[in-house]
Amino acid sequence: MAFRNIPIKRKLTALFLLTSGAVLFLTCAAYFAYEFVTFRQTTRGQLSTLGAIIAANSTAALAFGNERDAGEILGALKAERHIVTAGLYDREGKLFSSYPASVSGDALPSAPDRDGYRFEQSYLVGFQPVAQEHNKRLGTLYLKSDMGAMYERFRLYGGIVAGVVVTSLMVAFVVSTVLQRQISAPILALADTAHAIADRRDYSVRATKGGEDELGLLTDAFNQMLTRIEEQNQEQIRAEEQLRALTTELARSNKELEQFAYVASHDLQEPLRMVSSYTQLLEQRYRGRLDSDAHEFINYAVDGARRMQRLINDLLEFSRVNTRGKALQPVNANDVLGTVRANLSAAIDDTGALVTNEELPTVMIDPTQLGQLLQNLIGNAIKFHGDGPPHVHVAACEQEGEWVFAVKDNGIGIEPEYFDRIFVIFQRLHVAADYPGTGIGLAVCKRIVERHGGRIWVESESGAGATFSFTVPKSKAA
Q: Could you say which DSSP state residue 74 is in?
A: H
Q: Does 298 or 139 have the greater pLDDT score?
A: 139
pLDDT at 417: 80
Q: What is the pLDDT of residues 369-393, one digit of tens each?
A: 888 889 889 988 888 877 788 999 9
Q: How many other C-beta atoms lie within 10 A of the C-beta of residue 216? A: 13
**pLDDT of res. 478:** 45
Residues 410-429: what's their mean pLDDT?
77
Of the pLDDT bands very low, low, confident and very high (cuts 50, 70, 90), residue 477 is very low
DSSP string, 266-320: HHHHHHHHHHHHHHHHHHHHTTTTS-HHHHHHHHHHHHHHHHHHHHHHHHHHHHH
Number of Cβ atoms within 10 Å of the Cβ of 295: 14
- Average pLDDT over the chain reads 81
Instruction: Answer whether residue 269 shows pLDDT above 70.
Output: no
Instruction: Pick from 130-134, 153-157, 212-216, 255-259 the range whose average pLDDT is largest.
Output: 153-157
pLDDT tens-digit series, residues 98-118: 999 888 878 899 899 999 999
- Count CB neighbours of 397 within 10 A: 11
Residue 319 confidence class, pLDDT cut points 50, 70, 90: low
pTM score of the predicted model: 0.43
How is residue 352 annotated by DSSP? T
Res 437 pLDDT > 60? no
CA proximity to 115, closest of 43, 52, 66: 52
pLDDT at 224: 82
Point out which residues pair with 400 in neighbouring strands.
none
- Residues of the chain with pLDDT > 70, as a percent, come to 81
Q: Is the pLDDT of residue 431 over 70?
A: no
Mean pLDDT comparison of 261-265, 382-386, 401-405, highest-scoring range: 401-405
User: What is the rounded average pLDDT of the residues 51-71?
Assistant: 90
Question: Does 275 have pLDDT greater than 80?
Answer: no
Mean pLDDT of 5-29: 80
* Average pLDDT rounded to a whole number, residues 353-358: 91
Query: Alpha carbon 398 to chain centroid distance?
Result: 32
